[in-house]
Structure 1
Amino acid sequence: MKKLFVLLSLFLFVGCAEQKTQEPSVDAPVEEPVVEEKEDSVVSFMAVGDNLIHGAIYMNAYAKYGSYEFDDIYSEIKYFVESKDVAYINQETILGGTELGLSHYPMFNSPQEVGVAVANAGFDWIASCSNHSMDKFEDGIISDLNFWDQYPDIVTTGLNRSFEEQQTNKYIERNGVKFGVLGYTYGTNGIEIPEGKEYLVNLYSKERIKEDIERLEGTCDSILVSMHWGDEYSTTPNAEQQELAQYMADLGVDVIIGEHPHVIQPMDWIEGKDGNLTLVIYSLGNFLSSQDEAFNMLGGCASFDIRKDGNTGETTVENVKWYPVVNHISYGDYMAGTRDYRVYLLKDYTDELASQHRLGITRQYFIDKTEEVMNDKFEIVY
């Protein structure tokens, strides 16, 4: 009996051992490949408003220097322009040059030396179209664009010498981020664009904007649009501005930069139909002019960054700030018939400088007017 028990135990042990050896082996865990996180790319922008060259400005320059020299006008803001990756300015008046005959209000033609000073100051996106684009007719547009050809690193939007040029996408690329840029105006002060040459000036319509944006889609990381729109001397956007801003937000535009009213209007966020956020700058006001009212001496500089996610490629607008800008015109030298035109960020504009402004404007006036117009959605830098 004892012998039988031993044999039975041995049988069970061997059977269990055989069953154990027949179990499938477990593979070692497979290590997942390490996904390297890519760094984001950030591009800094600034935008200022109307570079409106009245006759007093270019005649003053000639009286002071015996030539058309304008670098000193932008000297006090140059450091800030050069600190940004992309700097935008609206060239309100056509740069047809002296050969076409200089002129001022109501039909402007400015010295091309203005453009030289703008380039020297560090601006690299020029919004060229405005309601004054046809002031020297087709010849003015061609002369203006031929001038800017000397600066291949500067991009202009809104004017064209041919249909092919109008249909050619415009880009700005910085820090590995590619931006598609567009520019439009509402009209040309009743001066008709020649039949068959509608390409000369980009007049906006919803159909036109949609067509141009669709041509850019898939070719760039972000789209920015310049709009010459709104009611002159109104500090609030009108219904058309708001409707078009929403329309462009729905089309996925990241930033809309507005000018024309000659006074500042607020900035805002607009949500597009896909949940995207669009920054709209309704009006930057005047950057430089020789207008006669205190509120025309206050402009704006919008500063913002565009971040491209290194992993998803998505872009977002961030770090948005508003810098008030002062168009300073001194009392000047009465006997010599000259004045000092300069542009300052308000944060750099002292009470002493304000006391020299020919309109007798205080620094506090610029602060009060800014707070009257702007909302509390963005930081204002004084």
Structure 2
Amino acid sequence: MSKSNKLPVKKYLSTRLFWSGGIISFPILLMLLFSSFIFSFKTLIKERNNYYPAKDSVVTLTLSFVGDLMCHGPQYQSAKTGKDSFDFKPVYKFIKEYLSSSDFTFGNLETVTAGKEQKFSGYPMFNSPDEYLDALKFAGFDFLFTSNNHSLDRSETGILQTLEKLRALGINSTGTFSNQQDRDSIRIIFKDGFTIAVLSYSYGTNGNVIPKGKDYLVNLINDELIKKDIDSAKVKKPDLILCYFHFGAEYKRYPNQSQLDVVKKSIEYGADIIIASHPHVIQPVKFYNNPNSKLDSTFVAFSLGNFISNQRERYKDAGVILNLQLEKNITQEKLSYKDISFIPTWVFKGFAEGKNQYFILPVTSEVSDSTFSFLSINDRNKMAQAFNDTKQILHKDISEK
């Protein structure tokens, strides 16, 4: 893949955001590689009895987000290397550089790892091998959202064992918890001069009942709870509050009224950035005026679609890496969006390198016949379709539905 390939989104999205009522206009660029950022702190220089302030101290941080990380039955069968051993790492071999080069990478873990004693399974009740999490660590994930409709697929045991394995791997998470104290502990990211509070909620758990007296196990979308948590986060005085929601209607390419209502209230409560998934297809992004935010506006991604799954239909096989590059002027205590970009992705399923494989592929408009030589003509057509679909939906304002 040519490293110079870029998605021409700047002019289109700037115009689109300008037209949308109540939406802030921001220049948006696609970056397929991240730059290295050098920063220095303000000093006060004394010379000849006069004080001269140094240049403003500015730091940057790139946050990368993907959608649903799923593990259907055919996926773990494909990853099998022995009777009780699996290797999911090849899934990420072509996309790892984009995930690991970000300052902090997030995803939605839509399965549990409750152990082989609980029997591995895919839809509708997921339980995946431990090696699934090993591959996420290998790929570069730093933080996983764990509140979704499959959180209780193996009841409390699934949650506790998954959290234990994530901790052992050094992967941060929020959304499911081991006890009340754990739930009430707001996750704060300290990275490169930024502090970010992270919260996570799901619309439900597919009818799987939360054990009596253990509501702390899974965060469900509830106005009072969200407001309480955001208020608790504010006490920590973070630069930003990031909320993840698992909501919406499956396979619908535009947010419904329920999603819009949750977003509106969360912004009123103090959310600065909102990321979401569950529909298994990509939905639009939008800026909301938010004079109470340090960023002056709240960025919302209503659904980032599937990043990895066995779903093969159009729109369901397409994903995206969303990159938010933030800038913080420490001297002036100001935050801003420096750049917002995205990398379309497509999931390959087929025979390659001597076996059945799943690969997440970065998609550009200039993929040549020599790029990913294992792709058939049909694969290339589907990948091109995914590229165009993703570009179109992320360019579109939700008012155009």
TM class by shorter-chain length? 0.7 to 0.9
Asked if residue 330 in structure 1 is aligned to residue 350 in structure 2, the reply is yes
Contact 1:351 1:362 in 2 (8 A): no
Instruction: Please tell me the residue identity of whatever aligns with 1:95.
Output: T
CA distance in 1, matches of 2:235, 2:102: 26
Please give the root-mean-square deviation of Cα atoms over the aligned residues, in Å.
Answer: 2.4
In the TM superposition, 1:45-60 aligns within 5 A as 45-60=63-78
Q: Give the aligned partner of residue 302 of structure 1.
A: 322
Q: Is the 8 A contact 1:222 1:315 kept in 2?
A: no
Whether 2:149 is the aligned partner of 1:140: answer: no
Measure, in 2, the Cα distance between the counterparts of 1:121 and 1:312. 36
> SS of the residue aligned with 1:366?
helix
Deviation at 1:376, TM superposition (A): 5.4
Q: Output the CA distance in 1 between the equivalents of 2:56 and 2:382.
A: 49
Structure-1 separation of matches of 2:176 and 2:305: 21
- Count matched residues: 344
Is the partner of 1:171 in helix, strand or coil? Answer: strand
CA distance in 2, matches of 1:348, 1:73: 22
Match of 1:5 in 2: none
Instruction: Choose between structure 1 and 2 for higher RCO, CA contacts under 8 A separated by at least 6 residues.
Output: 2
Amino acid at match of 2:211: P
- The counterpart of 1:187, out of the listed 204, 221, 227, is 204
Name the SS of the counterpart of 1:56 in structure 2.
Answer: helix
Matched, 1:312 2:332: yes
Letter in 1 for 2:347: N
Q: Does 1:174 align with 2:191?
A: yes
Change beyond 3 A, Cα 1:134–1:359: farther
Return the TM-score normalized by structure 2.
Answer: 0.80
Quote the offset at 1:33 in angstroms: 4.3
Counterparts of 1:192-203 in structure 2, within 5 Å, are: 192-203=209-220
Contact 2:365 2:387 (8 Å CA) reproduced: no
Q: Distance in 2 between matches of 1:66 and 1:203?
A: 34
- Tell me if structure 1 keeps the 8 A contact 2:365–2:384: no
Offset of residue 349 of structure 1: 8.1
C-alpha contact (below 8 Å) 1:298/1:327 kept by paired residues: yes
- Give 1:271 shift: 1.0
Flag the 1:365–1:64 CA change in 2: closer, same or farther, 3 A.
Answer: farther
Structure 1 gap ranges (5+): 1-30, 378-382
2:135 counterpart of 1:117: yes
Q: Percent of pairs identical after alignment?
A: 30
- Is 1:284 matched up with 2:304? yes
Measure, in 2, the Cα distance between the counterparts of 1:144 and 1:36.
48
The answer as to whether partners of 1:324 and 1:345 remain within 8 angstroms in 2 is yes
Deviates more, 1:367-376 or 1:112-121: 367-376
Deviates more, 1:228-237 or 1:96-105: 96-105
